[in-house]
């Protein structure tokens, strides 16, 4: 029997109401209005019907999407440019109605644009046309721009390690350049890492030989040698520091914490796990030392909880808080 107009309209309205309720729960979490009582209430709400549970599963998918949105955009709903709570719920409910389509588009769009890319939690190694080696850390995107004048790669976002090809092959006399949003890094026969995120600086670590950093507004290049790390913005190289390792730990699938603040460690771990992983400011200053496997972030969290006076609150598989 075909669906009639009235049945379709009633089903649509019911789905919309459930999606708005799911959006309300999601908004409460983002606003930090979530304790033990709220967790119990959410569990009861999810148990009301299969439609409620389906709505919440879509909300969990949206959590991961929201967490990947640049901070300045995310603030328009939950930051300093916050709109009204009612308007936020309405907007999120509309997104949830299209969650499967939105998630597919969000996951696939960077892959449609980037020549080399990795997903959240993934690291990969690529061999470039000149024989150079390119390692991509989690959630990174790179475009290739080789031509007759230069071997240029553009770091769209994320983190890379480059091992330039040894001299002797055809075309290696062309400069090897990493293009970033704040300027270029020119390889001087070298192995180096570049990290570009939302922050106001880009970090360069040199493991072999040297590089020349040229911020877009600077008058001259700054040379950085083996064993040095530097940060730069569009106008200048900001500061130099010393490296204590032979290569980034993520290349070996690890996070190495040497007396790191817990808040910083959790922020780093969150890059390798889909969804939301956050640290309560009340425990963020605890110090942690250890070696943690990137492929086993949940196990690492359990180890931390057994070593420090903190607990891991798993509100959902995609929403985890490290708290008192």
The class that CATH gives domain 253-323 is alpha beta
Half-sphere exposure of 215 (CA within 13 A, CB side): 18
Query: Given pLDDT bands bounded at 50, 70 and 90, which one contains residue 45?
Result: confident
Pairing type for strands 237-242 and 228-232 reads antiparallel
Choose the most confident range, by mean pLDDT, from 71-75, 86-90, 155-159, 209-213: 209-213
Pairing type for strands 116-117 and 141-146 reads antiparallel
Q: Which residue has 């930051």 as its token pair?
A: 79
* Distance of alpha carbon 246 from the chain centroid: 24
**227 phi-psi bin (left φ>0, alpha ψ -120 to 50, beta other):** left
Is 253-323 the same fold as 114-242?
A: no
Mean pLDDT of 104-113: 51
Pick the CATH number of 114-242 from 2.40.70.10, 3.40.50.880, 3.40.50.300, 2.60.120.1440: 2.60.120.1440
Any idea where the domains of the chain sit in the sequence?
5-109, 114-242, 253-323
The pTM score is 0.69
pLDDT in tens, 275-288: 888 899 999 999 99
Rounded to 10 deg, the angle between the 50-68 and 99-113 helix axes is 30
Helix (H, G, I), strand (E, B) or coil at 210: strand
Mean pLDDT of 290-304: 93
Q: Which of 224, 230, 145, 217 minimizes the C-alpha distance to 186?
A: 224
pLDDT of residue 282: 92
Choose the most confident range, by mean pLDDT, from 76-80, 159-163, 215-219: 159-163
Strand partners, 312: 322
pLDDT of residue 38: 80
C-alpha to C-alpha distance for 16 and 83, rounded to whole angstroms: 21
Q: Which of 172, 272, 179, 309 minimizes the C-alpha distance to 323?
A: 309
Nearest-5° angle of CA 122, CA 185, CA 144? 55
Query: Given pLDDT bands bounded at 50, 70 and 90, which one contains residue 104?
Result: very low
**How high is the mean pLDDT of the chain?**
80
In the chain, what is the greatest distance between 2 CA atoms, to the nearest angstrom?
A: 75
């Amino acid at each position: 029997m075909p669906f009639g107009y009235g049945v379709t309209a009633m089903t649509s309205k019911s789905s919309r109401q459930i999606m708005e309720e799911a959006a309300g729960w999601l908004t409460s979490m983002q606003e930090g209005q979530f304790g033990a009582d709220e967790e119990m209430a959410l569990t009861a709400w999810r148990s009301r019907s299969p439609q409620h549970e389906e709505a919440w599963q879509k909300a969990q998918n949206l959590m991961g999407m929201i967490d990947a949105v640049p901070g300045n955009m995310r603030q328009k709903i939950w930051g300093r440019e916050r709109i009204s709570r009612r308007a936020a719920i309405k907007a999120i409910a509309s997104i949830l109605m299209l969650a499967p389509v939105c998630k597919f588009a969000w996951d696939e769009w960077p892959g449609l644009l980037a020549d080399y890319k990795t997903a959240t939690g993934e690291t990969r190694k690529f061999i470039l046309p000149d024989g150079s080696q390119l390692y991509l850390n989690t959630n990174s995107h790179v475009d290739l721009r080789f031509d007759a004048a230069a071997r240029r790669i553009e770091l769209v976002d994320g983190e890379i390690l480059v091992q330039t090809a040894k001299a002797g092959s055809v075309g290696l006399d062309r400069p090897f350049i990493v293009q970033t949003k704040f300027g270029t890094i020119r390889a001087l026969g070298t192995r180096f890492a570049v990290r570009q995120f939302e922050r106001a600086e880009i970090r360069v670590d040199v493991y072999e030989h040297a590089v020349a950093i040229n911020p877009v507004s600077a008058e001259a290049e700054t040379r950085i040698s083996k064993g040095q790390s530097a940060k730069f913005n569009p106008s200048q190289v900001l500061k130099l520091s010393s490296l204590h390792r032979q290569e980034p730990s993520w290349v070996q699938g690890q996070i190495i914490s040497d007396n790191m603040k817990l808040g910083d460690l959790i922020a780093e771990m969150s890059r390798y796990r889909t969804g939301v992983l956050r640290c309560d400011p009340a425990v963020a200053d605890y110090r942690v030392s250890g070696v943690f496997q990137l492929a086993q972030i949940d196990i690492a969290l359990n180890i931390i909880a057994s070593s420090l006076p903190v607990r891991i609150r798993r509100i959902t598989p995609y929403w985890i808080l490290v708290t008192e």
